[in-house]
Amino acid sequence: MGQDYYLVLALTRSADDAAIKKAYRKLALKHHPEKNPGDQSSGERFKHIAEAYDVLSDPRKRAVYDQFGEEGLKGGVPESSVEAGAWTHGYTFHGDAEKIFREFFGGSNPFQEFYDRVDGDMSMGFGGLYGRGRKKQDQAIERDLALALEEVFHGCTKKMKISRRVMNEDGHTSSIRDKILTITVKKGWKPGTRITFPEEGDQGPNNVPADIVFIVKDKSHPRFRREGIDLIYTAKIPLGKALTGCMVEVLTLDDRIINIPINDIVHPGYTKEVAGEGMPVSGEPGIRGNLIIEFDIQFPQIMTPEKKHLIRRALL
């Protein structure tokens, strides 16, 4: 009577691919020669486990084995006896159980992923063959978080959708899935503020997922620009008002209208500072920067001789 590959892996004949992989994973680690030095029976068991996995993990080999047993699998089956595409040649196990083990776990160190889970510098055993090691985390993934000045002024909640590779339950395959990350924007967050979501990057059997980092960036604004905790506003005024004074009307980020009297002569480079009308200071409730008004003096394009004469009399 031939080998019962299902019995070797402690499976039923209805076992699916995930169950076959799970069984091999468990038994191969348990009976690996490096874990059982000097135990010849365990070494033979390790080879039988590899052969059973080699057959049952291959749909063609498994189909022939299920119908004709080990004798039919290894002796070959006439093509007329099986469905098209099935295994018809005699099967011979190559005998390299270690090769199957390494291909299954990946890399040159098949025990790495298990001992990398230990948060420390623990020796890995198994005769010391594989030394020490820890999983390497992927490089952080950085993304801009573009915010309107109103969002930073008032604070808000942002929902960020990401797509990442996630390991399936079998521990070997993966799929792309979407996830929503929630960011609570605090009042006054400055450009360059970093919001980190630990280990939300792509998952893999032998890596620590990357952190995803969102970096605050100001969106352009129709009225203001931000410098530190101050808001900069540019007022356009004609030359006459620059010389004689005027009132500047500003619509604030919280939808108030404030009027700032300008009594000085507005010259190139002149600014007017309004205390407490800037951005909130993060972490300091009630504290705000200043509103700084810059001026764009509008010179007349043409001027009549009479007006030129009047200006000469007034200024000279």
- When pLDDT is cut at 50, 70 and 90, the band that residue 129 belongs to is very low
Residue at which a domain ends, from 186, 218, 250: 218
The residue ranges of DSSP E strands in 192-315, in sequence order, are: 194-197, 212-218, 224-227, 230-238, 246-251, 257-262, 271-274, 291-298
**What predicted TM-score, i.e. pTM, was given to this entire model?**
0.56
Confidence at residue 272, expressed as pLDDT on a 0 to 100 scale: 97
Confidence at residue 231, expressed as pLDDT on a 0 to 100 scale: 98
| pLDDT over 60 at 193, yes or no | yes
Question: 26 is in which domain, residue-wise?
Answer: 5-57+96-128
Instruction: Let me know how long the chain is.
Output: 316
Q: Give the mean pLDDT of 106-131.
A: 45
The residue with tokens 């500047």 is 248
Please give the residue that has the higher pLDDT: either 134 or 253.
253
Residues 121, 209, single domain; the answer is: no
Confidence at residue 207, expressed as pLDDT on a 0 to 100 scale: 80
Q: Give the mean pLDDT of 242-250.
A: 95
Q: Which two tokens stand for residue 210?
A: 């990357």
Residues 100, 197, single domain; the answer is: no
Q: Give the mean pLDDT of 22-40.
A: 84
- 8 Å CB contact between 19 and 11: yes
- pLDDT by residue (tens digit) across 135-145? 688 889 999 99
User: If we measure between CA atoms, which residue out of 112, 117, 9 comes closest to residue 57?
Assistant: 9
| 20 found inside a domain | yes
Those residues whose C-beta lies under 8 Å from the C-beta of residue 250, and which sit 6 or more positions away, are: 223, 233, 235, 257, 258, 259, 260, 291, 293
| 41 found inside a domain | yes
Residues 206, 258, single domain; the answer is: no
- When pLDDT is cut at 50, 70 and 90, the band that residue 315 belongs to is confident
- When pLDDT is cut at 50, 70 and 90, the band that residue 125 belongs to is very low
Confidence at residue 275, expressed as pLDDT on a 0 to 100 scale: 96
Confidence at residue 147, expressed as pLDDT on a 0 to 100 scale: 97
| pLDDT over 70 at 116, yes or no | no
The residue ranges of DSSP E strands in 69-211, in sequence order, are: 141-147, 156-167, 174-185, 194-197
Q: Give the mean pLDDT of 181-207.
A: 92
Domain containing 27 — which CATH number? Answer: 1.10.287.110
Most confident of 18-32, 170-184, 264-278: 264-278
Residues 107, 214, single domain; the answer is: no
| 11 found inside a domain | yes
| pLDDT over 90 at 219, yes or no | yes
Please give the residue that has the higher pLDDT: either 17 or 76.
17
- pLDDT by residue (tens digit) across 80-115? 544 544 445 677 888 788 888 878 876 545 555 444
Quote the CA–CA distance of 126 and 181 in Å, as a whole number.
41
Residues 200, 124, single domain; the answer is: no
Amino acid occupying residue 7: L
Residues 147, 197, single domain; the answer is: yes
Of the candidate ranges 80-94, 241-255, 281-295, the one whose mean pLDDT is the lowest: 80-94
| 277 found inside a domain | yes
Q: Give the mean pLDDT of 44-72.
A: 87
Residue at which a domain ends, from 218, 238, 264: 218
Q: Give the mean pLDDT of 137-160.
A: 94
